Homo-oligomer: A and B are copies of this chain.
Amino acid sequence: MGATKTEHFTDKQNEIATLAKALGHPARIAIMEYLLKVDTCICGDIVNELPLAQPTVSQHLKELKSAGLIKGDIEGNTICYCIEQKALNKLQAYFGNIATKLEKKKSNCC
């Protein structure tokens, strides 16, 4: 096996899982944090920021992009990668909602 049975879950569940999965690696968290920190988007130096080889970083960027967490614009022979705000808003809303509901419940269990 090894293949996730996505068919059986709702679109929303799959969407959140995809976003979470893409962030489920410290290198990709580090990339997001770097993109958040940097003002200009001359993002060629992500490789220098990370302790990983260039192809590996490129692959992580690709995964973040295909999950919709970042977008990349070609600009000459450099590429400008940026955080896709919409995706982060979704995550914020999702976890905010859960946290709020948990607060209300105030666990009558465990």
A residues at B contact (CB < 8 Å): 4-6, 8-10, 13-14, 16-18, 20-30, 32-33, 36, 39-41, 50-52, 71-73, 80, 82-83, 85, 88-89, 91-92, 95-96, 98-99, 101-103, 105, 107-110
- Contact check, A95 vs B102: say whether CB atoms are below 8 A apart: no
- Contact check, B95 vs A107: say whether CB atoms are below 8 A apart: no
Quickly give the copy total for this chain: 2
Contacts of A22 in B (CB 8 A): 24
- Contact check, B99 vs A95: say whether CB atoms are below 8 A apart: no
10 contacting pairs across A/B (C-beta < 8 A): A8-B50, A8-B52, A9-B27, A17-B25, A21-B23, A21-B24, A24-B24, A39-B105, A85-B103, A95-B96
- Contact check, B88 vs A92: say whether CB atoms are below 8 A apart: no
Contacts of A33 in B (CB 8 A): 13
Additional A-B contacts beyond A8-B52, A16-B29, A92-B98 (13; CB < 8 A)? A4-B26, A5-B52, A9-B29, A17-B25, A17-B28, A20-B24, A32-B98, A39-B108, A41-B110, A71-B110, A80-B110, A83-B102, A85-B102
